[in-house]
Amino acid sequence: MTILPTWKQLRSDWMLYLFLIVVTIITFAPLILMLNVSTKNSAQFAVNPLGITRPFHLQTNYGFAMKIIWRPALNTIFVAGTSIVFSIFLSSLAAYIFALFEFPGRDILFWGLTILLMVPTILTLVPRYLIIVDLKLINTYWALILPYIAQRQVFNIFVMRTFFRGLPKEVLESARLEGANNFRIYWSMVLPMSKPIIATLSLLGLLVIWNDFVWPLVTLDNPDLRTLTLALYQLASSGGAQWGIMMAGYVLASLPLLILFIIFTKPFIEGMTSGAIKL
């Protein structure tokens, strides 16, 4: 990965490079701050909060943070993973049917979906909570998973429907002539051709679910089930100014998504730029 320009490039594009370098430094400053503070014990923080202090207390801080965070992290991974897999499966199936088939009621059903784009989450927050209470799902994983699957559907179906309509029709048609049934065409042709958009939608969904704070706060109070965001929030408000441990916790909470993103950068960007994401 190259970033810095040669002299020749600098002569024509120096303003662009200057802008990008400044913006990048500002963007990364809080993250560097987090990494730096995560190495300090309380005494070091009290004396010199911003500078680099030695020795690094990585084992103590990260060890302690890990103890607090591992269980919530697993909860979040389980909830997010299950929700994403099911929502992508169900919504890709629905998008496939809406995109490539004619059947009675299709337009009415799709119109019903379009309306949902107008429904803001703030309108449904309280009634959704009351439904979860009525279904006796408070303090279960289902309180998160089922609404997440449902809510991700709308956007996913729209984007995938656009994407599926752009797939080469002749290829799908020739598969049909060779005797493949509709589900087989979906499973072994449409899905594999849609890897980039699936990667993008999964990652966008993962970001939303991983970041969600209000819904778990409202539906969970069992410490064994709490998600990563709840654990971080409690860590932050536990006071005691254990900044080193807190920051170590924040770093650990950021790592899984960062790693996933670095692995899937290419399909993610391909999907983002495929033109299907515009509504």
Partner 1 sequence: MTAGASAQQLHKKRVARKSLWIRIWRARYLYLFLLPSISLLLVFVYWPAIQAFYRSFFIYDGYSINRFVGLNQYKFVLADPEFHISLKNMAIFLAFELTLPLFGPIIAAEAIYNLHNRQHQASWRFMLIVPAIIPALVLLLIWQYIYHPIGGAANIMMKGLGLPTQTWLANPTLVKPALMFTGVPWVGGIWMLVYLAGLLGIPTEVIDASIVDGASRLRRFFSIDLPLLWGQIKLTMILIIIYQIQGFFGILVLTDGGPINASLVPGLYLYHQAFGARASEGAKDFGKASAVGVILFIVILVFSLAVERLKRSDDEGFSQ
User: Of 243, 246, 97, 259, whose CA–CA distance to 182 is shortest?
Assistant: 97
Amino acid present at 244: G
Task: Give the residue among 211, 222, 209 at the shortest CA–CA distance from 150.
Answer: 209
Q: Does 264 bind partner 1 (CB under 8 A)?
A: no
Residue in 214, 221, 234, 263 binding partner 1, rule: CB under 8 A = 214
Q: Does 55 bind partner 1 (CB under 8 A)?
A: no
Q: Which is nearer to partner 1, 188 or 273 (CB)?
A: 273
Query: Angle at CA 67, nearest 5°, toward 61 and 70?
Result: 120
Q: Residue 110 Cβ, how far from partner 1 at the closest point, in Å? A: 10
Helix (H) or strand (E) holding 171: helix 169-177
How far apart are CB 275 and partner 1 at their closest, in Å?
7
Q: How far is CA 122 from CA 54, 227, 247, in A?
A: 47, 21, 31
Q: How far is the CB of 272 from partner 1 (least distance, A)?
A: 5
Looking at the Cβ atoms of 225 and 271, the one nearer to partner 1 is 271
- Distance in Å, CB of 223 to partner 1, minimum: 18
Binding mask 12-31 for partner 1 (x = CB under 8 A): xx--xx-xx-xxx-xxx-xx
The secondary structure of residue 213, as a DSSP letter, is -
Range in contact with partner 1 (rule: CB under 8 A) among 65-73, 88-96, 160-168, 188-196: 88-96
10 token code pair? 């600098």
Task: State which of positions 115-174 bind partner 1 (CB under 8 A).
Answer: 116, 118-131, 133, 146-147, 149-151, 153-154, 157
User: Smallest Cα–Cα separation from 190: which of 120, 76, 113, 95?
Assistant: 95
